[in-house]
Amino acid sequence: MKQTTIAKKVENIGIGLHKGQPIKLTLEPAPANSGINFYRSDINASFKAEPASIGNTQMATVLGDLASGVYISTIEHLMSAISGLGIDNIKISVDANEVPIMDGSAISFCMMLKDAGIKLLDESKKVLIIKRDIVVEDGAKMVALRPSLEPKFHFFIDFKNPVIAQQKYSFIFSKQNYLEEIARARTFGFLEDVKKLNAAGLALGGSLDNAIVIDANRVLNPDGLRFSDEFVRHKILDAIGDLNVFGARVLGNYEAIAGSHELNHKLTLEILKSSQNYEIVSVNAGNEKELEKAFA
């Protein structure tokens, strides 16, 4: 099974969530074994998507250093789409400090990638196989990856707000399942928090066009929800993006209780602490049948 990139360059323009300004997004083919690389054309800065490059996870997954201003924010939805469509190598360029939010889900990025097409490369795909249970906890919150040759995701959330309340969702990865069950799930926030962020000069591009907004006991979006459990599905979308930083698809069973970008990042770092935690394997004729579920 061969590595992939996109077949042609594609471009789009969207609004940045935090600054509210138009951002040009360009996706380009990349050579085998190069992985996922971001480039800021406005400051001529490059960032490789890998655990060591993650500089902040408080409101989004951020590559680079916030303090210096050399960073790219809100990469998780695009990273999720790249993983969902099985693309190994790609160059991503933006002319600002964040990836455009689009509609708040991954589906716009999936459409861009599908428009670009998929190109097979000469090198074998790689998979990161989880060898033993890796668990990261923070009080009642928890994320984990456990050994499994079938990529699974199970997420549980519990919000005091009655619109969300308790939700759980289990998802077995395949490209088709991703597109049908996960890719369209939008990010969400509470109106009172949005107002606070706006006052601090953040989330200026947020609107009902790119997020689910909740006020007390109702969803403010006129068209309502895309799924009754859209909130927990979006958490899985984020997790898929946050785990797409190894240069190889993670093969394991992901579990989360109130997981977050921060815990997902800590999980990736914990995996890399010991070679006994994982094994990176090239997919070839000898093991392709055993590992094929990772790329279905």
Q: Which of 72, 62, 64, 78 is nearest to 27 (CA)?
A: 78
Tell me if 116 sits within 8 A of 185, measured CB to CB.
no
Query: Which DSSP symbol is given to 186?
Result: P
Q: Report which residue type is found at 2.
A: K
Which residues lie closer than 8 Å to 104 by C-beta, 6 or more apart?
77, 186, 187, 210, 211, 212
- The helix or strand, by DSSP H or E, that contains position 135, with its residue range, turns out to be strand 134-138
DSSP 252: S
CA distance readout (Å), 242 to 126, 209, 254: 18, 24, 12
Which of the residues 18, 154, 261, 265 is marked catalytic?
261
Residue 154 labelled as part of a binding site: no
Please indicate whether residue 261 is annotated as part of the active site.
Answer: yes
Is 77 annotated as ligand-binding?
yes
Was 238 annotated as part of a binding site? yes
User: Which amino acid type is present at position 154?
Assistant: H
Q: Which residues are annotated as a binding site?
A: 77, 234, 238
Residue ranges for the known binding site for Zn(2+) are: 77, 234, 238
Which amino acids are annotated catalytic? 261
